[in-house]
Amino acid sequence: MRTLTLHKADVFNGYLVLVNRAHPIKPSRLKSANTLAPCLAMNDEVLLERRAAASLNQLIDEVGCRKQIVSVSGFRSKEEQEALFSNSLRQNGRTFTEQYVAYPNCSEHQTGLAIDLGENQDVIDFIRPSFPYTGVFAQFRTLAPDYGFIERYGQGKEAITGISHEPWHFRYVGYPHAKIIKQHDFCLEEYIQFLYDYPFSGQPYTFSERETQFDISYIRAIEPFTTIEIPERSLYQLSGNNVDGFILTTWSAPQ
């Protein structure tokens, strides 16, 4: 068996962190510049976390939509989020702003894992870009979970997420989590809650695809350090949930 030591401080790190009004970002855990990469082109001023950016480019290439889809907004600093929020308050009012713009330190854009995409047009709305459910945009949505992306703020989930439906906003959570979220029609809040039913001490949630079985479990972070054991030959990913613990994903390489 292999021993893993989990640091409670890392609850605020990882691809599955839940960021909303109830669970803001810890300022000490914000992305640094060396973890970010241009989103869709080498000279793109829109940045994403490196793995998320690489996955997005692979997805765009598979769909073949570089001319139709453009990056609108990716990583934002706290200062940029504050400016966006205050400017929208002044221009659009509080009701609109609270529906479509997250409070500073409550925005996924500050993690580097969220991207607003838009239809390539002469005029693009920075807050609500057009991203239809037809053509290459529909193809993008269909394939997005294979590359770790979910449409973060779906229709009918407003009461849970606290944000209005945003067809343009995609969040990187990684594979296979994006596939599971899509299959169950979850928002991220619901997925984090769902995984509480699969504690590490019990049976994991299993997901099988591509001849690989993934075992997913929740580990509560109570003490400063938590030690667990996993099979020696298992591959694994570990992410904090930005709430109270970790999500462990293990799998074996295909033989």
Distances (CA, A) of 71 to 48, 58, 66, 99, 186: 10, 14, 10, 21, 25
- Sequence-distant (≥ 6) Cβ neighbours of residue 45 within 8 angstroms: 38
DSSP code string of 165-194: -EEEEEEE--TTHHHHHHHHT--HHHHHHH
* CA atoms of 254 and 77, how far apart (whole Å): 40
Asked if residue 5 lies in contact with residue 226, where contact means CB atoms within 8 angstroms, the answer is: yes
Task: Please give the structure tokens belonging to residue 151.
Answer: 């449409």
Choosing from 49, 108, 119, 166, the catalytic residue is: 166
Residue with tokens 């241009």: 38
Question: Are the C-beta atoms of residues 209 and 179 closer than 8 Å to each other?
Answer: yes
Angle at 10 (CA atoms; ends 245, 250), nearest 5 degrees: 65
Assess whether 82 carries a catalytic annotation.
Answer: no
Q: Six-digit token pair at 14?
A: 């990882």
Q: Could you give the residue numbers annotated as active site? A: 166
